[in-house]
């Protein structure tokens, strides 16, 4: 009798232990499943243009997941960039870059460079120095990418090269526009100075005019340079204003999240 009672007690203890272990495994499985769901939901909602939903799903993933947090920051920053919230996107993508594995760095860098580029576009007309600094940030972000994440002839390498060319063209266009404006101001000052009635100055200007025309009516090198600067500045401004694939250097949205 005592033997049966002891066996029964042992079985009850083992059953309780198994129930506790099973319940714990069930909780872990549910936790992993819910975390994975929010990670996938951010991608699905982004693909369906539900950017606020993608941001919420990414935030939930960051709240739940202690691992691969760079994915949460990257996905949320990408969703924010897609709706033009570039400052929050910048913070999230910079956070992602700090912790992302080397193999995933290029994806983060390409989207972070895009955000720097768009921030530069926004301030280009108000603060040329700040826009130049942001364009430089965009270029440096791409240039510092490790070779491990962008092997030659890879898609990442192609995207990175395209982004570099686009940012460089925009920066040159802005510089050309500013130089053209400065040149115009200088011409205005020269014209006012020329109205002083200085005969020697007039003679000098006349001589330069004869030299610039070369007797054939052709434009001088200075005039050609000014026209080229003006054209590049106008092209840059028009490129930034055009929406869709033809505008913003062929890119109006960041790459999709993971």
The reply to whether 194 falls in a domain is: no
Element (H, E) at 60: helix 51-64
- Burial track 114-137 (b if 16+ CB lie within 10 A, e otherwise): bbbbbbbbbebeeebeebbebbeb
The reply to whether 189 falls in a domain is: no
pLDDT over 70, % of the chain = 69
The reply to whether 124 falls in a domain is: yes
The reply to whether 3 falls in a domain is: no
Lowest mean pLDDT across 65-74, 120-129, 241-250: 241-250
Question: What is the chain's mean pLDDT, rounded?
Answer: 77
Query: Is 60 exceeded by the pLDDT of residue 195?
Result: no
Return the pLDDT at 8: 74
Distance CA 60, CA 203 (A): 76
Confidence of residue 256 (pLDDT cuts 50, 70, 90): low
Q: What CATH number is attached to the domain comprising 59?
A: 1.25.40.10
Query: Is 70 exceeded by the pLDDT of residue 67?
Result: yes
The reply to whether 258 falls in a domain is: no
Structurally, the chain folds into a number of domains equal to 1
Choice between 226 and 84, residue whose per-residue pLDDT is larger:
84
Crossing angle between the packed helical segments 86-99 and 105-123, to the nearest 10 degrees? 150
The reply to whether 211 falls in a domain is: no
pLDDT tens per residue, range 197-247: 454 444 444 444 444 444 555 666 666 655 665 565 555 555 544 443 334
Where in the sequence is the domain holding 161, given as residue range(s)?
12-184+224-250
Q: Which of 114-123, 187-196, 240-249 has the highest mean pLDDT?
A: 114-123
- This prediction has a pTM of 0.69
The reply to whether 256 falls in a domain is: no
Confidence of residue 100 (pLDDT cuts 50, 70, 90): very high
Q: Which of 17-26, 30-39, 65-74, 166-175 has the highest mean pLDDT?
A: 65-74
Our measurement of the distance from residue 136's CA atom to the centroid of its chain's CA atoms, rounded to an integer in Å, reads 12
The reply to whether 209 falls in a domain is: no
Query: Is 50 exceeded by the pLDDT of residue 114?
Result: yes
Choice between 158 and 179, residue whose per-residue pLDDT is larger:
158
Choice between 159 and 183, residue whose per-residue pLDDT is larger:
159
């Amino acid at each position: 009798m005592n033997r049966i009672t002891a066996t029964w007690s042992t079985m009850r203890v083992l059953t309780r232990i198994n129930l506790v272990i099973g319940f714990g495994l069930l909780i872990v499985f549910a936790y992993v499943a819910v975390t994975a769901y929010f990670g996938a939901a951010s991608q699905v909602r982004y693909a369906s243009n539900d950017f606020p939903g993608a941001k919420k799903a990414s935030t939930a993933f960051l709240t739940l997941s202690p691992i691969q947090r760079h994915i949460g920051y990257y996905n949320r920053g990408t969703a924010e960039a897609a709706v033009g919230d570039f400052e929050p996107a910048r913070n999230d993508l910079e956070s992602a870059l700090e912790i992302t594995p080397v193999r995933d760095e290029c994806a983060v860098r390409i989207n972070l460079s895009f955000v720097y580029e768009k921030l530069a576009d926004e301030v280009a007309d108000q603060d040329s120095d700040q826009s130049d600094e942001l364009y430089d940030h965009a270029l440096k972000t791409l240039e510092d990418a490790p070779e491990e994440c962008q092997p030659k002839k890879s898609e990442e390498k192609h995207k990175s090269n395209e982004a570099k060319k686009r940012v460089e063209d925009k920066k040159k266009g802005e510089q050309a526009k500013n130089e053209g404006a400065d040149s115009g101001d200088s011409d205005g000052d020269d014209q006012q100075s020329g109205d002083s009635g200085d005969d020697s100055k007039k003679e000098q200007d006349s001589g330069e005019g004869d030299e610039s025309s070369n007797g054939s009516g052709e434009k001088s090198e200075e005039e050609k340079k000014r026209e080229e600067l003006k054209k590049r500045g106008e092209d840059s401004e028009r490129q930034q204003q055009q929406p869709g694939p033809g505008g913003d250097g062929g890119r109006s949205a960041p790459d999709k999240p993971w």
